[in-house]
Amino acid sequence: MYIVGLNSYHGDSSACLIKDGRLVAAAEEERFRRLKHWAGFPAQAIRYCLAEEQISLDDVEHMAVNSNAYANFWPKLRYAFSGSANWSLLVEKIQTRRRRQELRERLETTFQGQLFKGKIHRIEHHMAHLASSFFVSPFDTAVTVSVDGFGDFSSTSWGVGEGRHIHIGGRVRFPHSLGVFYQAMTQYLGFPRYGDEYKVMGLASYSKPAYLDAMREIVRLNHKGTFSLDLRFFRHQRHEIGYQWVDREPQVSRLFSDEMTKLLGPSRREHGPIEQRHKAIASSVQAVYEETLFHLLNNIHSQYSMNRLTLAGGCAMNSVANGKIRDKTKFQDIYIQSAAGDAGGAIGAAFVAWHRLKRENTKFFMEHAYWGPAYSNAEIHRILSQENNNLLAENCRVEQVEHEDNLCSRVAESIAQGKVVGWFQGRMEWGPRALGNRSILCDPRRADMKDILNDRVKRRESFRPFSPSVLREAVNDWFEVDDDVPFMMKVYPVRAQKRKQIPAVTHIDGSGRLQTVYQHTNPRFYRLIKCFAGRTGIPLVLNTSFNENEPIVCKPKEALDCFLRTNIDMLVLGNYLISRV
């Protein structure tokens, strides 16, 4: 049985394919469209998933979407007639709902000559989030929590996953949202693009939370673990805010009201100077976000008394908070899949449909993120041949290195010499993190490496840190934890005595957003780091996404183009090594 899962007409549109209860392919549409967080109908991601399994739309029996316009119908109706929202907001939501209902029509026009004859399953947004983590986790039973902006009139849901069932125990509904709080404050701090929240998370480490009282006025903790927003400071509950979800990069109008500037002072302009006040506000935003999250989680734990947690939703991308869950709550085993945000809802919707359709308790564990396209050495050779003149013009040498040991040894030596290496291998990662297949790799020992990377390639804000990818068996020697972090979803303190040895991946507060690397899930990347450790004694490398202010590269041609237009020293495409002479 084939089931296609979709996150459609929403930010980070995506598609996945499961076969008999096991994931076989998944990708975000942005990787094919080359527009960050692309929103709309994920036609190219669907095409990829079908091609990966060599089937057509005719072979698909079910399609599951991570939204259901009829979910939470009575709360929606009560709010519509409460006088709290004006008609422009209601019209905007009706239009979005209509677009999401037109799935069959869009399939017919996009996949001409193919016919989807199966059933469409519309899965409530937060059920899809909860399922996207629990149903692919290693746990048979766990507490499961979803926290995001909004979806189907809810912002937060929680409950218990048991076998093939998820029992929702509570919700926080529109207009109260921890995700909207963080997004509004991200806009206030001068980062207006959809998905910019990670910039606030990085900036927060550069100051103390001097605005806690103000933030606690904006977000208030309620009994039984819930929270509410002081709606004086927001616009989303009354006004059309201009979410643009149709075949483009998402755009969102201003979420915060003029009352916010009265409370905190003038908002920062995009590209304006970052003052100490902005750093202190960012620190306070992160602190109150964590305070609210842990308040929620501790109350949920007291309700269910389970120590296993699966976490999903856009807020589950807050890796700084995730790394503190074990210390600040009683949850000790935490699983967060690699696409925890809305893209992951495609997987959640597909697995909800699977478990509702089939009675057997099929268990699938997503222990790696490599579910995207791969390219053979023959395909890479053809592209290099086509680009031969451009390579000659840049004084590039191309070599084919047949043996993996030799390839990893040479690349490790180049990294140890301080070179910037583009590393393109195997299947593309699912989710927003580069996890060793579409990565730029560097020496973590060099204190100047962050500046080198920003100057040569990334051209991004100086306060944003770079991440370490570390051999799993070496985690406890270098970090104040012994945990599995395969998807770079948790930040932990670097051991104090080790920080001077790896300054390029140690943030200003002494922490690092690590990725644990395993031989059985990515043997080539593991071998490369092992070779680097043999030369330097350091069992980790600096790992950042292979891109330049664009989505992470998907195809070899995109990797080659990025290499040629930047100052990356070496590019490794499969078994081909391209270096500047």
Q: Which pLDDT score, from 0 to 100, does residue 78 have?
A: 66
CA atoms of 96 and 191, how far apart (whole Å): 25
Distances (CA, A) of 202 to 144, 206, 452, 466: 27, 8, 19, 10
What mean pLDDT do residues 545-563 have? 96
Distant-in-sequence, close-in-space partners of 87: CB < 8 Å, separation ≥ 6: none
Alpha-carbon span 26 to 37, nearest angstrom: 15
Predicted pLDDT of residue 165: 95
State mean pLDDT over 437-449.
97
pLDDT single digits (tens) 111-122? 999 999 999 999
Q: Considering the domain 2-126+341-357 in this protein, what is its CATH number? A: 3.30.420.40
Please, where in the chain does CATH 3.90.870.20 lie?
A: 377-580
> Is the pLDDT confidence value at 478 over 70?
yes
> Which residue ranges does the chain devote to CATH 3.30.420.40?
2-126+341-357, 173-335
- Angstrom distance (rounded) from CA 477 to CA 468: 14
Q: Is the pLDDT of residue 72 over 90?
A: no
Structure tokens at 378: 């023959």
Average pLDDT, integer, range 348-366: 91
Topology of domain 377-580 in CATH is DHBP synthase (3.90.870)
What is the structure's pLDDT at 98?
56
Q: What percent of the chain has pLDDT over 70?
A: 94
pLDDT at 187 over 60: yes
Confidence band of 242 (pLDDT split at 50, 70, 90): low
Residue 520 neighbours by CB distance under 10 Å: 9
The rounded distance, in Å, linking the Cα atoms of 412 and 533 is: 9
d(CA 363, CA 340): 19
Give the number of C-alpha atoms closer than 13 A to the C-alpha of residue 191, restricted to the C-beta side: 22
Please say whether the beta carbons of 182 and 255 come within 8 A. Answer: no
The highest-confidence range among 68-72, 73-77, 508-512, by mean pLDDT, is: 508-512
Q: What is the mean pLDDT of the chain?
A: 93
3-class secondary structure, 474: helix
What is the structure's pLDDT at 102? 82
Architecture of domain 173-335: 2-Layer Sandwich (3.30)
Strand blocks (E) in 448-575 = 467-471, 490-493, 511-517, 540-545, 570-573
Min mean pLDDT across 21-35, 241-255, 401-415 is at 241-255
